[in-house]
Chains A and B, each alone.
Chain A
Amino acid sequence: MLRYFASRTFQAVIVLFIISLIGFALVANLGDPLAALLSPDATEAQRAELAASLNLNASFAERFLSFFGGLWRGDFGISYRTHEPVAHLIWDRLPATIELAFASLILTLVIGIPAGVHCGVHPKSMLSRAIMFSSIIGVTLPTFVAGILLILVFAVKLAWLPSFGRGGVVDLGFWKTGLLTASGWRALILPAITLSLFQVTFIIRMIRTQLLEVGQTEYIRFARARGLTESRVWYLHALKNTLLPVVTIIGLQLGNIIAFSVVTESVFAWPGVGLLFLQSIQSADIPVISIYLILIGAIFIIINLIVELTYPVIDPRVLRSR
């Protein structure tokens, strides 16, 4: 058990290290920090001073180590565009993205799991057919089209909900939340639905397929042959066997939601890190771009680590193969 945890954690740290290396290679090789950070009429002395403070004359390895060390201290470098610390920029925007991501994750789970279980247990019922039919829409419709359609209907035609921004925000000191104001909640609805549309249909289809497959196994037949009730057979015997892939996918989906909120954030002018990322690309703000990539990578790794640490709880066979 302990060995399993240790080896998973060790692997996560290694991947994180590699991602940081790639991120740093971007910063080190693209753009000219001196030109970006100094005014055009800066003196040679100012250039030399900045180069020294940024440690530009050291070797690639040395600079990477100090960059990597800085990551752990929260020192993410300086933005070429705003000349602010990158850490500050990101931290300013992160709460908006996290709140949006979790809102759509909760939406995804609350709708997706019951609907998926229903479709798997009663694949021929009218409701299942209706769900499967409408889920095709969710799979095929691109996120930005869905977002624009929702804006058209609920913001433009019906004028029920705002089409952009985050509404009123309350600053808790360490976290700016939109969840404490009515306008914040109203502003959250459309982007959260947009972001979860694809995820919901994906989860429904996966749980359904998994349940249909597990429903054919011998241990389900044996459970029936022992006269266990249908609800016990499905909700305990079958569902527990589908949990491993489902938890894995839900974890990856949460990562996807955060990473792909770029599109949704730009459609709804949502002031999150995705929007920051787009702005940074437009102005070739390499430090912010690379930190964003490292951050997304880190989020994926951490979620994945948490998911893998839950495996032994779900399926004791995971520990055996190690």
Chain B
Amino acid sequence: MTPILEVNDLTVTMKRPFRTLTALDRVTLTIGKGEVLGLVGESGAGKSLTGAAIVNLLVPPLRQTGGSIALAGRRIDTLSRDDMRKVRGREIGFIFQDPSTSLNPVLSIGHQLIETMMTHLPIGRDEARRRAIAWIDRIGIPEAERRLDQYPHEFSGGMRQRIVIALALCAEPSLVIADEPTTALDVSVQARVLQLLKDLHGETGVAMLLITHDLGVIAKMADRVAVLYTGRVVEIGPTSAILNSPHHHYTHGLMKATPTPNMQTQRLDAIPGSMPNLAAIPSGCSFHPRCPRSDATCRDHLPRLSGVESGFACWHPLSAGGTS
């Protein structure tokens, strides 16, 4: 499988007055053509940062200081500002988390769709307008032609997120980064938006980096999963393998902390403690203070990921069945 996206040893740091903090530490992951890679982890693990770094939209003082990012074999992290701008939207779409803030409130949704298509595709205004109407119809909003000239505040939250999805996909990118696409929505509309995303993925064959903390979303959507902890990939592999028999204790902890439909009376087990902040990342395996199985090795030595396609970074991995 030829990867559409190859991220190699991506390192993002933030300069502080007396020290440099590492937000992403040698993150390595690949996404194949048409594949959906889920990216999970607690808040602050660096999930959104990974997405922003890929399209070079890091907010200073955050900066990429190492590694490489290649799209379909071409490095994109070294492109000029204007060349990178042409990659955004055209080759990599981006779906933002909160549809109530990501659409420009004073421009009609038709305007925003048409300008995005006309920026990237060699089409005229009439053709762009025709396609915009087709997109609104496609994402399941009735009376597309009339609604084209309406403004974001005239749509419900779920509709707005579907418009955001259309905006991310309208210039026909080969990869889309979806940053918590359903987190800001009501539970009742989450399923529909997710289904739309799945349908569009099936129709267009677009590859997807799906950033979420919701393992239910991962189970439904992702082919493979990467688990992020304190800016490091601690486990990566096929979704079913990761969800059914995780090797890393952190992944295992995440699973136990997630409710499933067939567990009515069981208590959820929270992972003890909380994720350290960037200024105080523990030595060795950064998960060791919270890990039930840690020892001196874990404290002193950083485990490396055992494989790029499928692997884990743990000195004492769990075998199948959840015991170490």
Contacts and interface: CB of A to CB of B under 8 A. Distances in A.
B286 interface: no
A246 B79 CA distance: 37
Contacts of A224: 57, 85, 88
Interface stretch (A37-45, A181-189, A225-233): A225-233
B89 A316 contact: no
B88 A237 contact: no
B81 to A, nearest CB: 8
A317 interface: yes
Interface string A49-70: 0000000000000000000000
B171 A223 contact: no
Contacts, number: 80
Contact of A225 (B55, B103, B104, B120): B55
A145 B203 CA distance: 71
Interface stretch (A7-15, A95-103, A214-222, A280-288): A214-222
B106 A227 contact: no
Interface in B151-169: 151, 153, 164, 167-168
A315 interface: yes
A236 B104 CA distance: 10
Contacts of A314: 106
A122 interface: no
Contact of A222 (B87, B164, B171): B164
A228 B106 contact: no
Contacts of B106: 240-241, 314-317
B85 A227 contact: yes
B117 to A, nearest CB: 10
B90 interface: yes
Interface residues of A, number: 23
Given A221-B57, A222-B94, A222-B96, A228 B103 contact: no
A232 B88 CA distance: 15
B310 to A, nearest CB: 30
B89 A226 contact: yes
A320 interface: yes
A227 B171 contact: yes
A217 B105 CA distance: 11
A218 B105 contact: no
Interface of A: 217-219, 221-230, 232, 236-237, 240-241, 314-317, 320
B86 A227 contact: yes
B115 A228 contact: yes
A45 B180 CA distance: 90
Contacts of A230: 85
B105 A227 contact: no
B157 to A, nearest CB: 14
> For chain A, what secondary structure do more than half of its interface residues adopt (helix, strand, loop), or is it mixed?
helix
Nearest to B100: A218
B119 to A, nearest CB: 6
Contacts of B90: 227
B104 A237 contact: yes
Contacts of A218: 96, 98, 101-102
B107 interface: yes
Interface in B247-266: none
B153 A217 contact: no
18 contacts: A218-B98, A218-B101, A219-B102, A219-B103, A222-B94, A224-B57, A226-B94, A227-B90, A227-B120, A228-B116, A229-B119, A236-B107, A240-B104, A241-B104, A315-B105, A316-B153, A317-B106, A320-B153
A101 B270 CA distance: 68
B86 to A, nearest CB: 6
A227 B120 CA distance: 8
Nearest to B177: A225
Given A315-B105, A317-B151, A226 B116 contact: yes
A240 B102 CA distance: 16
B101 A219 contact: yes
A190 to B, nearest CB: 40
Contact of A226 (B98, B105, B107, B167): B167
B201 to A, nearest CB: 19
A223 B104 contact: yes
A224 B164 CA distance: 13
B185 to A, nearest CB: 15
B61 to A, nearest CB: 14
A309 B155 CA distance: 25
A230 B57 CA distance: 13
Given A218-B98, A227-B89, A320-B153, A232 B103 contact: no
Q: Which 4 pairs, one residue from A and one from B, show the smallest C-beta to C-beta distance? A: A227-B89, A227-B88, A225-B94, A218-B101
A228 B119 contact: yes
Contacts of B120: 227
A225 B88 contact: yes
B119 A226 contact: yes
A227 B164 contact: no
B153 A225 contact: no
Contacts of A219: 101-105
A314 B107 CA distance: 10
Contacts of B94: 222, 225-226
A228 B105 CA distance: 17
Given A218-B101, A219-B105, A222-B167, 4 more contacts: A218-B102, A222-B102, A228-B89, A236-B107
B231 to A, nearest CB: 21
Contact of A229 (B85, B96, B153): B85
A218 to B, nearest CB: 4
Nearest to A225: B94
Interface string B4-17: 00000000000000
Contact of B101 (A217, A223, A226, A315): A217
A223 to B, nearest CB: 7
Nearest to B103: A219
Nearest to A222: B102
